[in-house]
Structure 1
Amino acid sequence: MAGPTGGLEVGAEVEVDVTAFAHGGHAIARHEGQVLFVRHTLPGERVRAVVTSSGAGERFVRADAVEVVTAAPERVEPPCPWAGPGRCGGCDLQHVSLEGQRALKAGVVREQLSRLAHLEVDVEVEPVPGDDAGLDWRTRVEFAVDAGGRAGLRRHRSHDVVPVDHCRIAAPGVDRLRVTERTWPGLDAVDAVAPAEAEPVAVRVPDDGPGPVVHERVTASWPGSDGSTTSFERTFAVDARGFWQVHPGAAGTFLATVMAEVDARPGERALDLYCGVGLFASALAEAVGPTGQVVAVESDAAATEHARANLADQPQVAVVTARVDDAFGVPRPARKGPGRRGARPHRTARSPLLPPSADVVVLDPPRTGAGRGICAEVTRLRPRVVVYVACDPAALARDTALLAEGGYRLDALRAFDAFPMTHHVECVATFLPDPDGR
């Protein structure tokens, strides 16, 4: 079946060869010159695919692989019966072995850096400690609630709720709440949270009251350039619905990786941008000591309130509640929409708490990345090292190119499988001043 412009229309079935894996969890195939982004398959397979939606001008279509004609060696039986076409949209790689998943993710990281930053970087995706099978790890799960009060998980690109029995990647503490076995009339969602140091909690959404506070304990160790080993152990208060790494081994792994790369020294000045509740800021404060300084910036007011409490015994830390672009005085793009033609970008004055220079910068931006203005401000500080924690390879690649414009080269890159069974991958990138840059 062809659409108005001659391409495939929704519902069409075609048999295609899958050639590559794309950023976002889709594999790529072509039919009569038209690109298909196909879920539930992997490169090297021949599948029968059903078109589920079309793109602008039908230049591409999205599809589900509903039958495998020729399977790739990495294909396995999905451990979850709710994974597959028309079912839960949370896991998009359950049909691939763990080794195969990590190889696909590494390929995406390499491809994005090559395409957007013009760098050829060899990288492997490492497992996060404590994860053997890729299941039972997710400590925070948001269950959607349908009109009848039943909790479940959403279909891919849909508001429909799939009434699953339980989530196979959820941590045991989440399962103990038995959210899907209860009814939740009048709610939009239920957030199930299994913190490290407390009983699991179910948070009703919406809820007029303040969210409960949970506590997460982090232990980590890392080598220093002088041959010593630093050990870290600390408990952090965080809002149950606030940001925290969902894999129980992720926070410690990322902290150890970041701190080994920055190798912060006594008396230095460090910036922790997008600081959350203060994980990196706390370790940086220990490293720079009472004669050093750490400035931590975070836009979420609840998170910075917790950060100030978490870091109260470290007076060398200043916590700033502000968007990072606002703190630097970087103009926000003008909002688009009716009546906004000619609107000027929003701009605030640079925060007086941000120093004119820094020795170390750590940034952990949201999925959209830091962007041109913030990357430019970071490089103007002329730090001796920048460490960037990225949850999106494309955003990392774009910002890598922007940091290069400011005279900083990519020196090291590690990638971690902090979200098994999904296409998501976390990267920690280290940037140093480029002697050949400006």
Structure 2
Amino acid sequence: MTEKLDWTGRRLKLDVGPVAHGGHCVARHEGRVVFVRHALPGEVVLAEVTDDPGKGFCRADAVEVFTAAEGRVAPPCPLADMALGHDRCGGCDWQHADHGTQRELKAAVLHEQLQRLAGLDRSVEVQELPGGPLRWRTRVRLAVDRVGRPGFHPHRSHRVLPVQDCPITVRGALDGLTDREWPQGAELEVAADADSAVHLTLRERAPQRRRGKRGAVVSTPVHGSATAREQAAGRSWDVSADGFWQVHPAAADTFARVVARMAQVPAGGVAWDLYGGVGLFASVLAEQAGPAGDVLLVESSRRATEDAVANLRDLPQVSFRAGTVEEVLADEELPAPDVVVLDPPRKGAGRRIVEAVCAAGPERVVHVACDPAALARDVSLFAEQGYRLADLEAFDAFPMTHHMECIALLTRG
């Protein structure tokens, strides 16, 4: 019987290769792939293996840099310092790279995913949003450790690193929060809205009612209110403080503007807004369709749907369906769309949804994606149905992390 290979804890001198999706770079050692974090392409580093599944790859963290890349900088957050080893915060991936280098890395990942998964050789600039790489995050979730201290998890770990501040979170959002003791195992949802009001929600799991059954999560507003006020697309939005809203203060307005440019709903036309949330994109689609048009918003979260109904009460051309996209698209009585906008979860839309959308025959599909691999897979599925990628924009809506937002236009023919 062959003994399982395990390099965990081993230190390797690595020549770092290209960036890969997920916030790491690719290196090779003794015939195996090493996904190494806290490194940059072209560097020579000493890396410690943190996880070895015993297959053709393992994961490692750079712990010393012998040859630094031109884009390397000192991390602005002390919890990203290389001296901490495995105790670095897992919330950021690229604090050791300057902002321009971060966007270049994300552009390289997007290009590679489109090429590998969709067969498209397409380079796209990842655009910067206003405000710079720090103090942009308006919504953040903290975990609470065993002694009541709030903090963040290291990468691929359930441990909690206590924090006093977070340099990517907007100023004031954590004031008075990190120096208090909180219930063990709870989570803290923080939202700083467009009016600079900070809303704090405590999320705790209720006691078990039956053996082996976990209690339901209970959310309790602690500070501020249960509703946040946001601004985007020329409108004010009242949204649940612990619900979904874009975390970068410039993101919602920017994305709504791009979606409107790509959608081009004809006056009196029909549009579907799938995974519509609180109605951001439905609002711009409704303006294009006009009073004689028809916009259908589909959202699985009943609370988000209720927020959408309240926010868009002045747009009678918008109708609402609370349910999964799969369930709603099975209704054969839906009005045939001229345009479909979809903003699926991180995993993407998938074959079933793509085929259902294409079967409805829209001239244009606008796909909003927060994961380049999921986007590339969906673009490939749309291509099977005769839709081509006509336009694509990408935004660095999450500086210091490996995440980005992409908005794609797919057209028939």
Instruction: Give 2:80's aligned residue.
Output: 83
Q: Displacement, 1:301?
A: 0.8
Q: Displacement, 1:377?
A: 1.1
Which of 45, 63, 67 does residue 66 from structure 1 map onto?
A: 63
Secondary structure at 1:181 match in 2: coil
Q: Displacement, 1:412?
A: 0.7
**Residues 194, 230 of structure 2: 8 Å contact kept:** yes
Q: Displacement, 1:197?
A: 2.5
State the distance in 1 between where 2:6 and 2:361 align. 52
State the distance in 2 between where 1:136 and 1:213 align. 22
**Residues 128, 395 of structure 2: 8 Å contact kept:** yes
Instruction: Give 1:41's aligned residue.
Output: 39
Secondary structure at 2:79 match in 1: coil
- 1:157-236 map, 5 Å: 157-175=156-174, 177-186=175-184, 188-197=186-195, 199-206=197-204, 208=218, 212-219=226-233, 233-236=234-237
Deviations 1:20-46 (Å, cap 9, x if unpaired)?
A: 111111111010111101100011001
State the distance in 2 between where 1:406 and 1:26 align. 34
Unmatched runs of 5 consecutive residues or more in structure 1: 220-232, 330-349
Q: Displacement, 1:59?
A: 1.6
Deviates more, 1:136-145 or 1:185-194: 185-194
State the distance in 2 between where 1:31 and 1:290 align. 63
Deviations 1:92-142 (Å, cap 9, x if unpaired)?
A: 1000010000000000000000000000112110001x222x000000111
Secondary structure at 1:179 match in 2: coil
* CA separation of 1:375 and 1:250: change in aligned 2, threshold 3 A: same
Q: Displacement, 1:209?
A: 5.5
Instruction: Give 2:210's aligned residue.
Output: none
State the distance in 2 between where 1:351 and 1:234 align. 33
State the distance in 1 between where 2:250 and 2:181 align. 32
Instruction: Give 1:279's aligned residue.
Output: 280
Instruction: Give 1:142's aligned residue.
Output: 141
Task: Compute the TM-score of the two structures, normalised by the length of structure 1.
Answer: 0.87
Q: Displacement, 1:327?
A: 1.3
State the distance in 1 between where 2:258 and 2:19 align. 28
Unmatched runs of 5 consecutive residues or more in structure 2: 205-216
Instruction: State the number of aligned residues.
Output: 392
Secondary structure at 2:257 match in 1: helix
- 1:9-408 map, 5 Å: 9-55=7-53, 57-84=54-81, 85-86=85-86, 87-128=88-129, 130-132=130-132, 134-175=133-174, 177-186=175-184, 188-197=186-195, 199-206=197-204, 208=218, 212-219=226-233, 233-329=234-330, 350=331, 352=333, 354-355=334-335, 357-408=336-387
Letter in 2 for 1:169: I
State the distance in 2 between where 1:80 and 1:116 align. 35
State the distance in 2 between where 1:192 and 1:326 align. 32
**Residues 74, 96 of structure 2: 8 Å contact kept:** yes
**Residues 384, 432 of structure 1: 8 Å contact kept:** yes
Instruction: Give 1:419's aligned residue.
Output: 398
Q: Displacement, 1:414?
A: 0.7
Secondary structure at 1:82 match in 2: helix
Q: Displacement, 1:54?
A: 1.2
Task: Compute the TM-score of the two structures, normalised by the length of structure 2.
Answer: 0.92
State the distance in 1 between where 2:121 and 2:176 align. 47
Letter in 1 for 2:268: G
Identical-residue share of aligned pairs (%): 51
Q: Displacement, 1:186?
A: 4.0
**Residues 187, 205 of structure 1: 8 Å contact kept:** no
Runs of 4+ aligned residues of structure 1 deviating over 6 Å after TM superposition are none
